[in-house]
């Protein structure tokens, strides 16, 4: 009986210790410049598809403000850069993940066409485009400083729920 109690106590101590690592109630500080690339879900093998730079400010409520810059077809003759402003009321982090939503209106006076490989999409003049990044980081279990974020992105036009572009994003803190 004593052996069972000692084994049970040991198991409980290890379980509490392991769970304690996931009980960090402080969201990470993600303020700074993050850069990386996008990988399109429908064709992830396209080389140099898109680069992204996200400049984050983070307030005491863990909401973000700042900018997002995505350059499709970087360093090519048909590169297209989309700039967007982060929507602070819809962009924040907690212990488990970060959500960044940024939008802008196409005020160029003409459609913005993005094409690479065998796909093409347009952002019509006068329409709002929105980037949404979902970045799980499980900081509650990891703690310390985060230098890399991997997650998903979507690019939508107006109120359309179907993205015109989506896939994976990989970011590194600069």
Q: What is the pLDDT of residues 68-111, one digit of tens each?
A: 999 999 988 989 999 999 999 999 999 999 999 999 999 999 99
End-to-end CA distance of the chain: 57
pTM for the structure as a whole? 0.86
33-37, 42-46, 83-87: range with lowest mean pLDDT: 42-46
* DSSP alpha helix (H) spans, the chain: 2-20, 139-142
Kindly indicate the confidence band of residue 21, based on its pLDDT and cuts at 50, 70 and 90: low
Task: For the chain, give every domain's residue range.
Answer: 26-173
> If you classify domain 26-173 with CATH, what class do you get?
mainly beta
Average per-residue pLDDT for the chain: 88
């Amino acid at each position: 009986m004593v052996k069972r109690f000692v084994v049970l106590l040991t198991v409980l101590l290890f379980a509490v210790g392991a769970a304690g690592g996931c009980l960090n109630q402080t969201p990470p500080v993600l303020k700074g410049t993050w850069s990386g690339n996008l990988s399109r879900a429908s064709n992830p093998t396209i080389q140099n598809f898109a680069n992204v730079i996200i400049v984050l400010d983070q307030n005491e409520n863990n909401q973000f403000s700042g900018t997002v810059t995505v350059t499709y077809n970087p360093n090519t003759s048909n590169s297209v850069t989309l700039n967007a402003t982060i929507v602070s009321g819809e962009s924040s982090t907690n212990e488990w993940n970060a959500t960044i939503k940024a939008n802008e209106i196409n005020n160029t006076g003409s459609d913005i066409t993005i094409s690479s490989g065998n796909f093409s999409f347009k952002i019509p003049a006068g329409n709002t485009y929105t980037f949404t990044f979902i970045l799980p980081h499980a900081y509650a279990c990891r703690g310390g400083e985060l230098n890399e974020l991997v997650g998903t992105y979507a690019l939508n036009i107006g109120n359309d729920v179907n993205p015109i572009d989506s896939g994976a994003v990989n970011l590194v803190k600069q």
